[in-house]
Amino acid sequence: MADYSPSEDAPPAIGAFDNSYARLPSAFYVRIAPTKVAAPKLIKFNYALADELGLCPPHGHLAAIFAGNLIPSGAAPLAMAYAGHQFGGFSPQLGDGRAILLGEVIDKSGTRRDVQLKGSGPTPFSRRGDGRAALGPVLREYLISEAMHALGIPATRALAAVATGEQVRREGMLPGAVFTRVAASHVRVGTFQYFAARGDVASLKILADYVIDRHYPETRDAERPYLALLQAVSAAQAKLIAQWLHVGFIHGVMNTDNMAISGQTIDFGPCAFMDTYDPATVYSAIDEYGRYAYANQPRIANWNLARLAETLLPLIDEDTDKAIALATEVIEGFQTQYAARWVEGARAKLGLATVEDGDEALMNDLLVAMHKNQADFTNTFHNLGGDARSQFINPTEFDQWAIAYRARLSRDTLSPAERSAKMRQANPAYIPRNHRVEQALNAAIQRDDFTLFEELLTVLANPFDDQPDYARYSAPPEPSERVQNTFCGT
Ligand code: AMP
Ligand code: MG
């Protein structure tokens, strides 16, 4: 941390901003500063991430900067415009109602990253919302986005959490907080929909070119760059959703405004990991019909991509019929692409280096038996080379499956040591189990005690390592600890 002695009103320097989004036309955003909060107090700062970003905020000003009370020099605060389908219904204008993009920095690997405050006060997109965030959801996003990253799954990152010293009104009054997240970008499927809904093809083209430059430069030289862009976004989502399913992650609100064009997991609301394997699992209290249930996620991603495709049609070809035919081919190809990524992930989980046609069925047979026997998803896979059978109500049903599994292993090329190393990297010991997340959040909210939050962050930073001191974090919940519902808390 640099030493910093501020003159009265000079903005602090935290690093080199280069704000490409703020250079786009004014239709893309509204320039707006965060609203100051009463008493900022730093809860958590991610020093390792700050270092990766080349940020060096002055020590004494962390709380003020990441509460939005002090705007660092070079920042160009703005709220992004976007639209979106929420639970299937279209809203032509959503936008950052409680988030403000401070700006962009180029990280040490040369990648452009957004730094955004969430819960930093109202914007012209707030509608009836207060522009604020409660402490619980802020800590939840901090924990889960960092856990996803440690699991090797593309996700936005947590840079800071700051308590505001103010209360927010939700079901009752709750302590408020501001979250700082870092993303490859905050462009969403809904950003494209915003301009498409207005028939603004010129802006759509500017957005598409921006996204190509920032995320998918290899598509620029394709014969049809915008079709290639759709294909690239589709491929990134196929990979991402397969990764979600292989750790038991349920996003909970896969609205088109919550799907990032970059292929990162974004907008951690009522998201949760399942304990007992059940493909119909839904946690989100607002997902009445299970639209975003665990096993529906690939279908929903495909549906969202179809909405993206619709916005790109005028850029794909002047001849609408031709554009539709080309885009449809990409959208229909998603399922095949997803299935390929899923079976690759399944082979890694099973410890297979070779490819056989029966691998998909082998994995599915295990999952069916796990469902029937209420097996814990994480612990069954983590112990596949050991005592997985004890996860089953009727262990002999595991034994039956294991006959086929052993036969398959005997035809594979990996040595036992190689296999066990491969499986270790695909089958985590630790996930952010709901009851543990809930316990950590409750201690912070009710007792201002962040010990459990810190401990959980520590465990989840190395999810593939057996950590004997923290073995309790791998245990599924007792019946009394089971969490049935999660809430957005917005
Ligand atoms: P979400 O469900 O969090 O993805 O948000 C959907 C939309 O509601 C976005 O436009 C958000 O900016 C907006 N929103 C959510 N919570 C608030 C809030 N407390 N104040 C203002 N806008 C909000
Ligand atoms: Mg959202």
Domain spans in the chain, listed from the N-terminal domain onward? 2-189, 352-424
Contacts of residue 299, defined as CB under 8 A and 6 or more positions apart, other chains included, come to none
Contacts of residue 342, defined as CB under 8 A and 6 or more positions apart, other chains included, come to 242, 245, 246, 298, 360
Tell me the torsion sign for CA atoms 255, 218, 100, 40. Answer: positive
Q: How many C-alpha atoms does 437 have within 13 Å on its Cβ side?
A: 31
Whole-model pTM above 0.95?
yes
Kindly state the average pLDDT of the residues 276-280: 98
Per DSSP, the three-state class of 401 is helix
In the beta sheet, which residues pair with residue 276?
376
Cβ(129) to ligand 1 under 6 A? yes
Q: To the nearest 5 percent, what fractions of the chain are helix, strand and coil? A: 45, 15, 40
287 is catalytic: no
Q: Which ligand is nearest to the CA of 488?
A: 1
Cβ(130) to ligand 1 under 6 A? yes
Indicate whether 281 pLDDT > 80: yes
pLDDT digits (tens, 9 = 90+) for 432-459: 999 999 999 999 999 999 999 999 999 9
Closest CA to 44 of 139, 182, 137, 152: 139
Indicate whether 1 pLDDT > 90: no
pLDDT digits (tens, 9 = 90+) for 113-132: 999 999 999 999 999 999 99
> Probe ligand 1: pick from 127, 135, 490, max atoms within 8 Å of CB?
490
Q: What angle do CA 10, 16, 17 make, to 5 degrees?
A: 90
Ligand 1 centroid distance, CA of 371 (Å): 35
Per DSSP, the three-state class of 374 is coil
> Probe ligand 1: pick from 29, 90, 98, max atoms within 8 Å of CB?
98
How large is the angle between the packed helices 297-316 and 201-214, nearest 10 degrees? 120
Cβ(121) to ligand 1 under 6 A? no
Closest CA to 68 of 105, 100, 43: 100
11 or 341: which leads in pLDDT: 341
